[in-house]
Amino acid sequence: MLDSSAEHQNLQQAHQHIKSELLKLDASAQHYESMRPEPKPILDHPAAIYDPLNIPDALLTFNKQHDFGDEIGQHQKWFVDVYTGCLIVPMPNIETRHKYLKFHDLHHVLTGYSVGRIGEGKVSAWELGTGSMWQSPLLGIMNLIALSTGFFLAPQQMWHAYKRGTQSRHLYRKRDRQKIDQNHWQSIADLKDDFLEIRPVQLYFGVRAVEYVIYLLLAVLIHAIVVIPALILRLIVDIGLKKSLIEMIRPPKRPDLY
């Protein structure tokens, strides 16, 4: 009985220690957040600002503006933070993302869409409109994850971006990627002339609208699969920290909405 009582007491002490450490971490995180300067909001840029630049210079400028570093298309992390509603969920930084990252960044440059949650959603909707799903299903799934967040935040903007995409071409095809690497186009303006909104509104646009609805349904399904486990984990941690309901559901302040 004495051994059992001592074991129970040790477990209680261990539980209290873990709880105390979690509270310290939470307090430290809140203190750190309060000390950070208010970041500037991420907004769409006027797409024409890149027009005179050649492609390497445009990408370097884009990366520096968003603190991505100087190496074009070389964000070599094992995991990347993916926007899923009010949560940031780490996803494996797979080879497909490495392969197409530079050209995805160029889509931001061409369209003028930002790298915030709504901006990434718009670029993804635009890419789906251009047919990215048929270029690479994995690429299409990554587009759906971003679209799911963007749609809940700005549904009309997602639809408009998708329609723009149906009139445009993406840069993901092998021959186009090779031409870009060989500096076939002298400037971003030249690149736009061959890829951005070059097609008339299609006669079978109704079919593309149905395709968009299907993408939305898949995006919502993927959103639920990704977000629900992450949300449950967050609630478990918050309950362990004895946070109030308001503290649990209140999203953190973030500058990356747009």
Mean pLDDT calculated for residue range 47-52: 85
Residue 198 burial by CB count (10 A; 0-12/13-18/19+): exposed, middle or buried? exposed
Is the pLDDT score of 38 beyond 80?
A: no
The stretch 110-124 carries a mean pLDDT of 93
Across 16-20, 162-166, 209-213, least confident range = 16-20
Q: What is the dihedral of CA 118, 119, 122, 126, to 10 degrees?
A: -170
Residue 180 and residue 169: Cα distance in Å, rounded? 14
Q: What angle do CA 253, 251, 29 make, to 5 degrees?
A: 65
Beta bridge mates, 80: 91
Computed over every residue of the chain, the mean pLDDT equals: 79
**Mean pLDDT, residues 208-215 taken together:** 95
Instruction: Please provide the size of the chain in residues.
Output: 258
What pLDDT band is residue 239 in, cutting at 50, 70 and 90?
confident
Question: 82-104 pLDDT, tens per residue?
Answer: 555 555 555 555 566 778 889 99
What is the pLDDT confidence band of residue 221, given thresholds at 50, 70 and 90? very high
Q: Is the pLDDT assigned to residue 66 strictly greater than 90?
A: no
- Residues 178-202 have pLDDT tens digits of 999 999 999 999 999 999 999 887 6
Q: What is the CA radius of gyration of the chain?
A: 22
- How many other C-beta atoms lie within 10 A of the C-beta of residue 63? 19
**Cα–Cα dist 176/3, whole Å:** 72
Is the pLDDT score of 169 beyond 70?
yes
- Is residue 213 scored above 80 in pLDDT? yes
Whole-number pLDDT of residue 131: 95
Residue 211's pLDDT is 95
CA atoms within 13 A on the CB side of 242: 5
